[in-house]
Structure 1
């Protein structure tokens, strides 16, 4: 069969609800909104875990963190897996191109071209100006820019990544399909943009927050610990939330313009025919909600929900606001699209029938699941264990020993969300009535039936993600599309 080209556009720390197509009042990504309107846009897509490395390894392996065993950003080398996306595409004859952020288990030699790693503070440097910009970016210490970035657009990482991706695609023989992964480190902090993007979105016009710092106090636990730590390190940091949000919008538009440049080049060079395009993020961003920046505390929807859209040959245009899909579903979906058997150990489900208009069982996608934590017990609000950065000074990392301790699992069904941790603490939210997840109704006797049903759903998911690896003598009965 003819293999379509595949383009994977991945952003880092992008909220699902911050584009006009997703209901945001400001038009942050007009090109991607228009491009993906020709395909399926999933409005109930979730990450497997709200931090970079576990989520990205889930994308590549189709496995949840409890199975691939990478539950923190520092553990990529410990991945447990079978064949992954790179293996399948290589065996299917694809030229493999990566440009951008890595944060996973694969190495440079696994790709035909490897323009990486790009991090949030720099990347491969081909000019002296790139070096100067990267040094400036590092000096920002992941902060919020209060002035336009004093470097031209061509220094920005998305511009450099797209230039690398264009060069790689142009070098691919016409008779060989390509997989091009554009892995943008943005809109992750530091929150900075040059003109015209810095002035494009007025801080006074950005939408109000769902909830401010008082929300963190109500949530307690890691929300309070993280907020107090940052306030101690950077007093008054929350006062800049409007500028932070405006910069975040500008970063999204900058990415969008560079994605436009990539696809314009594909079209002009005649390489855009028969191309399957995926647009996802690894996880979301607080964007000021709860008086927090970045990520780290808990599993609120602003961190768990991600953009997830697919367009290309065979995909029928529609907006899906019913089915719960996951980042782990991307790999088996590509397998199904190529007519390749989904490898053993993959836990995600193929979305290909949902994309092509074929019948599918509604109950298969009636629930969604996620995980958080590297194990052990949770630290208390007053504890200050050793971290990988000092308690003194401005520098901090929101993904640290305290915020990632313990284990929490989450299930979604309809408007309901249930979370349980290793200590037996439960949270239950009606997201239609309480999108900020402040009114925990786990103990509400009126919701006993809802709680029981969701607990059963959660138990089924936890059984489902029990690992089928390693394979041994017995023959596993496999379900079509990895559906159960």
Structure 2
């Protein structure tokens, strides 16, 4: 395993607990500034650790994002650019290899949607997906059948099954059982992965009534927003309307159920963390992230699929545990790809060759320097699985029929083509394989409705951002396969300070 420069000994991190939700948008908890208190327990744990206000997914799709988390690599390097290419990963040592090298036993419970399988873990429970789960009691199985019957929702009634059969409850039950069965003489890596709050959007009582649809915060744009943005946004909106006429009329119910599911998850996480504290103890690093966001009604859209708006790219992201200094970091722009090298450094393991993420460990433990600020001054993202973008009026073959029957996968066509994203300060730049660009001031225009690309007053800024985007694509060129020559690599995988120093030299 070729490493970066020597890694200093870490504080006493003996165990790592990774909690992941599916399709949870950043900004939907009170701790993140939301008007409703959806996840009070998680917010309380986050307050004792480091919350990153600008956490990003490397790509707004489940399997590619999870592959990036495992490998510390962007999709263009690990080659898994769509959900259907799970087994085609290109990688070196991954997260499981790193924690195994540190002597930790591995436990997984929940939704996998990744290339690693049950046999790769010491203990495993799953797979839990969005409408199916391991065979269980008659009531548990009946719930799965009901989920399938609502065609990915949103449901117009409270779920007619109790909380105990909901997948988050079952997953936490499984995780707690496996913690009790672990080898107490070894450290533990526990990965708990929830299929929720991803569609189908449903929730039982008391969560159904917890957040009144009339009280959920307003969105900024309805379907007119998708039509105004055009392109993939307009395509997706029109196809969803074709399959589900009048679907947007339920947007408030959909938001309320989404918030209710967050509270249900929060209650289950309180059970999980209590068990973690009892069994693993104080020397446990707890990490909370999502794989990507959700429109939650913005642009009149549900789920994900079109474009790389911040509602899809930004995710909740916090870390708590030994050595982590409590703070809300509003400056650093961090990504899922950064978790693998962070865990490696926390466990005093070298960062493997081929890893493109940046270790957050110095930030977590209190380093605030010119180097750390330069390392995390911007975030990079990718989307699309190649080829050309489809036009809004095209109707290619899908996994379902346009008459509204069959398998429900609405957003595959909108991912044809390739897009790249740079996020720096208040500015967001997108560039696409058809040659057009987008530039947004996300502080003034958070839903990215006013494209400033080509604005005569922003020529110098635009050129600077394009240069940085090119730099990102350059430093994320794959180092693998490893050869006989030695690659010089920066400490913590921080290439940003080198780039910042070069830019500053060039400026008068």
Name the TM-score, length of structure 2 as normaliser: 0.94
Instruction: Find the aligned partners of 2:492 and 2:374 in 1 and give their Cα distance.
Output: 14
Residues 213-362 of structure 1 mapped to structure 2, 5 A cutoff: 213-267=223-277, 269-360=278-369, 361=371, 362=373
Q: Partners of 2:282 and 2:132 in 1: how far apart?
A: 33
Aligned mates of 1:270, 1:135 — CA distance in 2? 35
User: Aligned pair 1:384/2:419, yes or no?
Assistant: no
Task: Spell out the pairing of 1:170-185 with structure 2 (5 A cutoff).
Answer: 170-185=180-195
Alpha-carbon deviations, 1:21-41, whole Å to 9, x = none?
111000000000001111100
Cα shift at 1:273: 1.9
- Asked whether 1:81 is paired with 2:91, we answer yes
Q: 2:27 matched to 1:17?
A: yes
1:315 partner SS: coil
The answer to whether the 8 Å contact 1:230/1:396 transfers is no
CA distance in structure 1 between the aligned counterparts of 2:178 and 2:471, rounded to whole angstroms: 44
- Counterpart CA distance in 1 for 2:363 and 2:80 is 29
Q: Structure 2: how far apart are the matches of 1:220 and 1:396?
A: 23
Cα distance in 1, alignment partners of residues 347 and 368 from structure 2:
19
1:92: Cα distance to partner? Answer: 1.6
1:474, CA displacement in angstroms?
A: 1.1
- Please give the alpha-carbon distance, in whole angstroms, between the structure 2 residues aligned to 1:270 and 1:367: 38
Gaps of 5+ in 2: 1-8, 496-508
Summarize the alignment of residues 434-449 of structure 1 with structure 2, pairs less than 5 Å apart: 434-449=445-460
CA drift at 1:286: 0.2
1:112 pairs with one of 122, 131, 135: 122
Residues 13, 322 of structure 2: 8 Å contact kept: no
Q: Give, in angstroms, the shift of residue 125 of structure 1.
A: 2.4
* Alignment of 1:47 onto 2:57: yes
> What is the CA–CA distance in structure 2 between the aligned matches of 1:212 and 1:393, rounded to whole Å?
22
Alignment of 1:42-191 (within 5 A): 42-191=52-201
Aligned equivalents of 2:257 and 2:144: distance in 1? Answer: 18
1:284 offset after TM fit, Å? 0.2
The answer to whether the Cα contact below 8 Å between 2:54 and 2:330 also exists between their aligned partners in 1 is yes
Unmatched segments (≥5 aa) in structure 1 = none
Aligned counterpart for 1:371 among listed residues 376, 382, 404: 382
Question: Comparing 278-287 with 351-360, which one deviates more in the overlay?
Answer: 351-360
- The separation in 2 between residues aligned to 1:255 and 1:396, in whole angstroms, is 25
Aligned to 2:440, the other structure's residue is in SS state strand
User: 1: CA distance between counterparts of 2:260 and 2:402?
Assistant: 31
Structure 1 position 452, deviation (Å): 0.8
**Aligned counterpart, 2:472:** 461
Residue number in structure 1 paired with 2:408: 396
C-alpha separation in 2, matches of 1:323 and 1:356: 14
1:173 Cα shift?
2.2
Q: Distance in 2 between matches of 1:208 and 1:438?
A: 17
Separation of aligned partners in 2, 1:318 and 1:176: 30
d(CA) in 2 for partners of 1:424, 1:408: 10
Contact in 2 for aligned 1:70/1:76 (Cα 8 Å): yes
The number of equivalent residue pairs is: 482
d(CA) in 2 for partners of 1:311, 1:210: 33
The superposition leaves residues 425-474 of structure 1 with CA deviations (integer Å, 9 ceiling, x where unpaired) of: 00000011111100001011001111011001100001011000001121
Q: Cα RMSD between the aligned structures?
A: 1.0
Equivalent residue for 2:461? 450
Instruction: Decide whether the 8 Å contact of 1:295 with 1:398 is kept in 2.
Output: no
- 3-state DSSP class of the match of 2:196? coil
Partners of 1:272 and 1:156 in 2: how far apart? 28
> Does the residue aligned with 1:197 lie in a helix, a strand or coil?
coil
SS in 1 for 2:195: coil
CA-to-aligned-CA distance 1:354-380 (integer Å, 9 cap, x gap): 000024411111111000000011110
2-structure distance, mates of 1:455, 1:144: 40
Where 1:170 maps in the other structure, the secondary structure is helix
Divergent runs of 4+, >4 A: none
Q: TM-score, normalised by structure 1?
A: 0.98
Match of 2:4 in 1: none
